[in-house]
């Protein structure tokens, strides 16, 4: 199903701290112990976050 969306009608997301409009994708890495991992081995899980390019703020409410 294709939906035509005009991005001019979409609202911008701004940084809560500085109201900046530009963000960079960054990663936080989590280690899951072999004791609780489903594979029985230690697992490293990447979590994508967005960091404001203006002030460096990371709003964890915007987890990707």
Q: What is the pLDDT of residues 14-38, one digit of tens each?
A: 999 999 999 999 999 999 999 999 9
In a domain, 7, yes or no: no
Q: pTM above the 0.85 mark?
A: no
In a domain, 49, yes or no: yes
In order of 35, 37, 44, 60, the CA distances from 56 in angstroms are 35, 32, 24, 12
In a domain, 5, yes or no: no
| Percent of the chain whose predicted confidence (pLDDT) is above 70 | 98
Domain that holds residue 35: 15-62
Domain count, the chain: 1
In a domain, 10, yes or no: no
How many whole angstroms separate alpha carbon 56 and alpha carbon 18?
10
């Amino acid at each position: 199903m294709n939906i035509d969306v005009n991005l001019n009608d979409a609202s911008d997301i701004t940084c809560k701290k500085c109201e900046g409009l530009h963000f960079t994708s960054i990663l936080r890495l989590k280690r899951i112990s072999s004791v609780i991992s489903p594979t029985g081995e230690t697992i490293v899980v990447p979590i994508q976050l967005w960091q404001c390019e203006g002030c460096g703020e990371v709003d964890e409410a915007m987890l990707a």
